[in-house]
Every structure is written in C-alpha cells, then in structure tokens.
A and B are shown apart, each in its own frame.
Chain A
Amino acid sequence: MKILVCISHVPDTTSKIAFTDNNTKLETSGVQYIIGPYDDYALARAVELKESSGASITVLNVGLAETEPTIRKALAIGADEAIRVNAFPTDSLFVATQIAEQAKNYDLILMGRESIDFNSGVVHAMVGEILGIPSVSPVMKLDIDGTKVTMTKEIEGGKEQVESNLPLVAGCQEPIAEWKIPNMRGIMSARTKPLKIVEPKGIEAISINKKFELPAPKSAVKMISADNVVELVTRLKTEAKVL
C-alpha cells in the first residue's frame, strides 16, 4: 500500500500572531514553525500502518524552500520519501490542485482535518472531488481491511461510523494515533532520504487574500468577589446582556 501524507508548515500553537507590510504579511520573526498538529496525527497513523502492514509513506508539502526542515522532521518520524511542490500555498484550491497532481498513484491520502493557519478545513474534500474518490473528515479512527476502510468520524455532538473503499482521502484528528517523536536514528536517516522538488501546476486564482486584521483588544477583566455571585448574575444580565 502506498500512503501519501500531506503536511502543512505552520506557526506553532503558542505563536502570537502579528502582521507586517501594511497588514498583508505574517510577521515571521520569532515564530517557530511546526508540522500542522492535525497533519502530525495523520503522519502518526501512517507510520502505524507502515509498521503493521508494510506500507510505504511519501510526505508532501506545498511550500517554498523554508519548509524543508519541517519536511525533514516528517521523514525523521517515519516517512520514506518526500515531495515539495515549490510554491507558496495561497489558498485551498491551489493546494488541493497540487496535491491531486501528485496523488494519482496512491491508495491512501492522509492529511490533517485543517491547517491551523488558514483553517479552511476543506483541502481533503477538494482533493477527493478533483480525483473523483471518496473523502472523509474529521477521522478519529481508521482501519483498513483489504480495500475496505472503516472510520469513526466526529460530528457535532457525537460520532459517525463510516465505511468506504480505497483509494480514499482522510482528514485526521486525535485520537487516530499518538504523535510520534523522532528518535536519533530517524533524524540521522532523514538527512539522506529522497526529497524531490517539483514545480506547481499553474491555475487561475479566484480567491485572493487582500489584507489581515487582528481582533479588537479586549477590555480589562472585572473582578467580582467570590462572596457576591449575585453581582455576577446582575452584571451578565444588565451590563453584558448575555442572560
């Protein structure tokens, strides 16, 4: 079985977000980049499948040269080879188009349920649609028997058990697998694993990020004595008007 794991290269979850260049670019100084946390779950499940059934794993990222340390980390965790599509990931359609271009010969395409930068949460659905194969997300459990795939998918207030067939795209989230931390051997071998750079397929952009904005700053917290919860109820009613 050939598994393609698509990873995003994103600011870590503790990053403070700020913008530069007249609010058109992310301020990257001081930002630590990581494999998208949801993508990390996808990668972890792929490594488990490799260990249990001898699958091969290719990791794919759409990004410029700066993402290579993130890709190498995925190789250290257990992917066998990597592809970097040499382009800035401008929007979901662009990224999905590039993934679909590379994904044609894979049985299982895994990625996170969403990237934690732009949060669209649709690349898996778009890849499935472009390739004409099923896509399921967010997947919390995934098991394969021959070509049959059974999954548990989270829905609002509960879960759904879903069955489909390979080839298939799945958007993953916890607790599909435990995150894997690369060991020294993995880190050493990652340096020499093949990383292929391909040029993107050009498409017309039909959604354009014009500028960014930070939320309005929050006013100072009003502290209320623990002996006076009635005051809290009154304030929620008359001041905040949320009760």
Chain B
Amino acid sequence: MNILVFLETSEGKIKKTSLEAMAYAHGMNGVTTAIVLGKADAGDLQTLGKYGAAKVLHAADTKLDEPIIQVYSSVLAHAMQDEKADVLLLANSSLGTPVAAKVAIKLGASFASNVTELPDTSSGFTVKRSIYTGKAFAFVELTGAKKVITLKKNAAELKETGGNAPVVNYTVPLNEADFNTKILKTEKATGDILLPEAEIVVSGGRGMKGPEHWGILEDLAKALHAATGCSKPVSDMGWRPHHEHVGQTGVKVAPQLYIAVGISGAIQHLAGVNSSKCIVVINKDADAPFFKAADYGIVGDAFEVVPKLTQAILASK
C-alpha cells in the first residue's frame, strides 16, 4: 500500500499532530511518502525519515507559504496521482480537514475524519471514528479504491523508527483559479502552547469569579508547560478569548492531563474533554457533576488549592 502523509507546518516547523499521522502510516505497514507545502525548516524535513518516510516531497513554491485550502487540495490531489498513493493521511485541523475533504471529492475517494485508531483490515478496510462529540464511536468501512483519512489527536503514538529519507523538491503547476480566497491577516498566539495540540490543559470556569483571577491558572499552566482553556460561560462573558473555549461548541481537546478549576461540568463541557487521558477536577462544591467524570478530585477553594498545587509541581521537578 502506498501512503501519502501531508505534514502541516507552523512558521516552517512541522506540527506534532502531523508527526502522529506519520506514526499512523507506519502502523499501517505501507510505503510512506511525506509531503510538505510552502516554507519549511530544512532540519525538520530531514527528520521525517526517522518517523518512517521513505521519501519526503517538498513543494517549496513561495505561493504555497500561505495555507489556502483550495490550492493545497489541488496540490495534494496531484501528488496522490504522481505517487500512485492509495491512502492520504492528515491530522485533523482547521486546514487539514477541509483540504482532505476536497481531495476526496477530486479523487472520488472514500473519506473519514476524526479517526482514532489504526484501521481493521482483516476484512475490507474499517476505521474507528469519534462521533456525537466524543460520546460514542462509529466503525466505518471505506470501500473506495482510494481513501482519505484525517486523524484525531492521539490516534497513534509518536515513534522514531530510524532511517533516512531523501528530500525531493516537488514542483506542480498551480491553478490561478484556486487562489479564490485571500488571507488578509493572521492573528495567532505566538510562543504559547496551542490549546488543541497541548498535552496538558488547565481550564477555568465561572468559579474563578473574574478574568482578573486568571493569573493563578496561568502560573499553574506555566509550571506544567500547559495550555489554558475555559468553559463556555467564561468566553461568553468575555473573560477569555473564544479560541480558549473548551466544549461541545468550542475546542475539543485530547490532552494527557486536563485540570478543571471552578467548572461545574455541564454535559456540553464534558463533550469537549472526554478524550482526555486523565482528568483532575478542583471545585469547592462537592456535588459538582464534573467529579463523576474525573479521575482525581479535590474539594476546595481554587484560590487556595491552585497556588499550592503550582508550588508542589515546581517542588517535584
């Protein structure tokens, strides 16, 4: 089986979620070609061999520096044909998922997003995907000759398998008509750990009583090298920006550790965190429903418990 993996970059650096797609491809035992579009760190391209690529395609045309979905999907559809690839793998993201869907239409390929595990190929090709916002899973058989799959975070564990792969300059004619949307401006939190990709998340709810109290959560997040999140009421009241809202209608996270402070645990919030490996709930209300969904719980005042927890973490390092 020939597998093409699209690796997404952020300021030229390859994203970790994309490396998970490499690990997934490795688990499928196919021949893997990695493809990177636009500006990319040369060192990062070199390391892809270690993650299982037999070959790395780099389309370095500066017109690809901006991630325009229509343009990227045309390039990837082209590469699928050039490489005679059977499967295209991508990480779920605001870029990867729509690009994948468009490639699937262009190629008449079977499509599945939010895939959480390696495919079952014992009879046919069946993937497991997350549905009902993490409340359930579906087993979906992909019957098309070509398949396009986007992966939910943690679908495969990162693995360095050794090996070197040649980095090949990939040129493809770009279609002017694909530049039908223009990116005027990008505003992005820089230097911070991005919430959808974080391994540890510290979230605050209404129990934090006001935006001026977020400092203690930020200190805890810093000690843990974590991203900060919040509940819906908190972003609705403007205490925190919308892109930090975790829940059914916000960001769905899947970290190793999720620490919820002063969040009661409405079912809509739980839907955004139920893929977390371990959940810690800190709430002064012992009856908060979130405790039922937690692995560890502390009943106590956030303003006392959180600074103590930060100290304990710093002391344990």
Contact = CB atoms under 8 A, between A and B. Distances in A.
B309 A233 contact: yes
A158 B248 contact: no
A125 B104 CA distance: 10
Contacts of B194: 156-157
A48 to B, nearest CB: 19
Contact of B97 (A14, A122, A234, A235): A122
Interface in A117-140: 117-122, 124-126, 128-130, 133-138, 140
Nearest to B284: A226
A88 interface: no
A243 B257 CA distance: 8
B308 to A, nearest CB: 5
B291 A221 contact: yes
Contacts of B278: 236, 240, 242
Interface stretch (A62-70, A73-81, A211-219): A211-219
Interface residues of B, number: 88
A137 B242 contact: no
B293 A218 contact: yes
Interface in B87-135: 93-95, 97-102, 104-106, 108-114, 126, 128, 130-135
Interface in A179-231: 205-215, 218-219, 221-226, 229-230
B184 A207 contact: no
Interface in A1-48: 11, 13-14, 17, 19, 37-38
Interface stretch (B48-56, B210-218, B295-303): B295-303
A116 interface: yes
A212 to B, nearest CB: 5
Nearest to B184: A161
A110 B84 CA distance: 35
Contacts, number: 242
Contact of A122 (B110, B113, B128, B298): B113
A125 B103 CA distance: 10
A150 to B, nearest CB: 7
Nearest to B293: A218
Contact of A236 (B243, B257, B308): B257
A51 interface: no
A221 B256 contact: no
A38 B111 contact: no
Contacts of A156: 93-94, 194-197, 243
Contacts of B135: 17, 214-215
Nearest to B309: A229
B28 interface: no
A96 B180 CA distance: 20
Contacts of A158: 186-189, 243
B248 A242 contact: no
A157 to B, nearest CB: 4
Q: 3 closest pairs, A vs B, by CB?
A: A226-B300, A158-B188, A122-B101
Interface of A: 11, 13-14, 17, 19, 37-38, 92-93, 96, 116-122, 124-126, 128-130, 133-138, 140, 150, 153-165, 173-175, 205-215, 218-219, 221-226, 229-230, 232-237, 240, 242-243
Given A92-B101, A213-B128, 20 more contacts: A116-B132, A126-B105, A129-B101, A130-B105, A138-B94, A156-B194, A156-B196, A157-B243, A162-B181, A206-B142, A207-B144, A210-B139, A210-B140, A213-B139, A222-B297, A223-B298, A232-B280, A232-B309, A232-B312, A240-B257
